Amino acid sequence: MQTIHWYPGHMAKAKRQLTDLIQYLDIIIEIRDARLPLISHNQDLEPLLKKRPNLVLLNKTDLADPEVTGRWSDWFAGKGVSVVQVNGRNGQGVQAIWPKLTQQFAGKQTPRALRIGVVGIPNVGKSSILNRITGSGSAKTGNLPGVTRGKQWIKRNGFEILDMPGLLPPKINNQEDGIKLALIGTIREEIIPTYDLALVLLENYGEQLFGWSKERIVFEHIEEKLQWYAKKRGFLLKGGAIDLNRGASALLNDFRNGQLGRISLELPPLDSGAESSSIAPAPR
């Protein structure tokens, strides 16, 4: 597979917008994917994000291995980073952010309510979480000066939340990170065709997902794995050949929806290095 080069123009724009946005914020809530807690973060933007206190939400916990997510929470706690495990789809865990925010920021006397913004790379659940945070019973306040007409601060529990998530450009450090970001749907077909991605998924996580060895299923070749899956799903073409393309899309869909089980794609580093160092390889 070729080296991944992916940085479309709208991501450069997103970075500029984020820089503009941050000046209005007192607190940043950064949403990351619980399956990729470091890879779904852009460490290049740390100098920018570090200008403000930070709360990290590990979202999509329903799709991640709960034991691994627990280890991640401990790992972040060990670095002094506040994290909350959440599920943007059903709202689980979201209420736990309020005591965290109050704990961390109460006592700071400011002439006005502290202002919070939600940021994250594409598809991590920014809009879902923002809706949960600002949910029912919240009062809208004035427009945000300067930045985006029509965007508002929403009062909630003594804080003001910006009713617009900030888009972090994803950072692709290497091929493996790029593949993992593609697997969770951060970067779409543009860079890795679905067919290739399905093969990578089966190659790296197939055993974990399907337990082939227990059933003594042996493959000679990677493509046989996709054939196995497509056949299992009954995807046949006219004439009886197996529809591998349909198998590939279905496999990725099922994986992304959690229908194949809860799988974490990144493990906490064992070292005590900086947050952005040493990324665990895909289990083989």
Q: Does 234 carry a binding-site annotation? A: no
Q: Which stretch binds Mg ion (CB under 5 A): 15-23, 119-127, 212-220, 240-248?
A: 119-127
Per partner kind, with CB cut-offs from 5 to 8 A, the member of ligand GDP, Mg ion, none near residue 37 is: none
Per partner kind, with CB cut-offs from 5 to 8 A, the member of Mg ion, ligand GDP, none near residue 120 is: ligand GDP
Q: What are phi and psi of 57, to 5 degrees?
A: -105, 125
The reply to whether 127 sits near Mg ion by the rule CB under 5 A is: yes
Residue 87 or 199 having the CB closest to ligand GDP: 87
Q: Does 166 carry a binding-site annotation? A: yes
The reply to whether 88 sits near ligand GDP by the rule CB under 6 A is: yes
Three-state secondary-structure class, residue 76 = helix
Per partner kind, with CB cut-offs from 5 to 8 A, the member of Mg ion, ligand GDP, none near residue 186 is: none
Name which of 100, 104, 154 is nearest 132 in CA terms: 154
CA distances from 274 to 93, 110, 257, 277 (A): 27, 32, 32, 5
Residues from 186 through 225 that contact ligand GDP (CB under 6 A) = none
- Give least dist CB 63 to ligand GDP, A: 5
CB atoms within 10 A of CB 150: 8
The amino acid occupying position 8 is P
Query: Both tokens of residue 157?
Result: 């529990």
The one among 6, 26, 54, 258 contacting ligand GDP by CB under 6 A: 258
The reply to whether 17 sits near Mg ion by the rule CB under 5 A is: no
Q: Which stretch binds ligand GDP (CB under 6 A): 85-93, 212-220, 236-244, 264-272?
A: 85-93
Tokens 């029912």 -> residue = 136
Convert 154-173 to b/e letters by CB count within 10 Å (16 or more is b). bbbeebbbbbbbbbbbbbbb
Residues from 232 through 261 that contact Mg ion (CB under 5 A) = none
Q: Is residue 39 exposed (0-12), middle (13-18) or buried (19+ Cβ within 10 Å)?
A: buried
What residues line the site for Mg ion (CB under 5 A)? Answer: 126-127
